[in-house]
Amino acid sequence: MKAMTARERLFAALEGRSTDRVPIWLLFPWHPAPYYVDVRQHPAYRPIHELAQQYCITLNRRHLWAPLYRSDVEFTRADSADPTACHSLVWPGGRHEWRQGCRMLEEDSDLEKVAGVPIETDEAVLLPALERAAEIVRREREEFPLDAGAMMLDLGEPIGHIYHSAKLESLSIWSVTHPALVEQMLENLMRRLRIIYRFALENDLADVYFFVGSELAAPPFVGLETFERWIMPYASELIELVRSYGKKTIQHFHGHIREILPGFRGMGPDALHTIEAPPVGNCTWTEAYQELGDNMTLIGNVQYDDFRSMSENAMRKAVREVLAECAGRRLILSPSAGPYDESPPATLIENYRIFIDEAWKHGAWELR
């Protein structure tokens, strides 16, 4: 087969077409992202970034900022060394305060109050803010070498704001005791997200969309029925919307995925990252392919902690084992997580090099 560019290899893999070799994705973005090290500037990562431009695909993961709350909602963050100082949220008809170091939503009464905070869904407010954010993404797209891969937007799912605002034990309990209030919040948040996704799609800001909500409300944290109510309808709608514009979708999930694979099959993304076998997860590649068939590209998986600790021989063996189990199937090879170590151990950096080298040597195959 003729040698492909990274971009050609990426889209062939996402579409279930044969590639000249298995795409390798390190989860390195091109532009700085708040959750990752800036690999283009960091002296330890820079050699791996340069190596990745020769052998790997790059998905330049970006975000679009837009107001969350309506303009008549006032959010004040405590700026004090006093641990008893409070953040506050004030809106017409309500007020909520919580101490520094605590979550906005911890008690039942917190949820009952905050469920009524007005979410911004006025296009006259959202669209100008999105246009300002889009100008940044457009500049980044001009700077990004598209042959390296694709621009990728991470715009969120309704569960994200609730998950990051809540005490997790409380959210788990509320899935049983207060599901209607949580679902009211999800519906309000989804109305805002529909506007954001449509804006991004109509303005052709990215070729790939990354979804990270499914792992935030899944077993064993909440029951399977809750996953089916809080995640599946919203993800399914957004995936279908993205697909209607000819763009690609990747869903991300860490943890015990085997029980909910039918849910991912129903949601129908182009790809799923990441499949984690025991002891970290509960699903082998073989089990995932048996459930999903050849309708979805699987992405993964060598655990990030293994990059930090494995010997060269162990890393090479780990790569070959993934390639052997997935031979001839839809696969993008990747670590389980992106580059978040600000002071990376030498072993981590060396294992990135070994990972690329071993995958390039042994990753050429035709789809079955």
pLDDT in tens, 42-97: 999 999 999 999 999 999 999 999 999 999 999 998 887 787 899 999 999 999 99
Which tens digits make up the pLDDT trace of 169-184?
Answer: 999 999 999 999 999 9
Identity at 288, one-letter amino acid code: A
Query: Is the whole model's pTM more than 0.95, yes or no?
Result: yes
Q: pLDDT at position 368, please?
A: 67
19 preceded by cis ω (within 30°)?
Answer: no
Distance CA 146, CA 205 (A): 13
Q: Is the peptide bond before 179 cis (omega within 30 degrees of 0)?
A: no
Q: Using one digit for the tens of pLDDT, what is the confidence trace for 335-350?
A: 999 999 999 999 999 9
Contacts of 290 (CB under 8 A, 6+ apart): none
Residues in the chain with pLDDT < 50?
none
Nearest Cα neighbor of 63 from 194, 207, 165, 200 is: 200
Per-domain boundaries in the chain: 6-68+119-362
Q: Does domain 6-68+119-362 have CATH number 1.10.1750.10?
A: no
**Residue 141: what pLDDT?**
98
Sheet holding 86-91, edge to edge: 74-76, 86-91, 94-99
Pair of tokens at residue 43: 């002296």
Residue 236 CB burial class (10 angstroms; 0-12, 13-18, ≥19): middle
- Assess contact for 27 and 301: CB atoms under 8 A: no
| CA–CA gap between residue 283 and residue 291 (Å, rounded) | 11
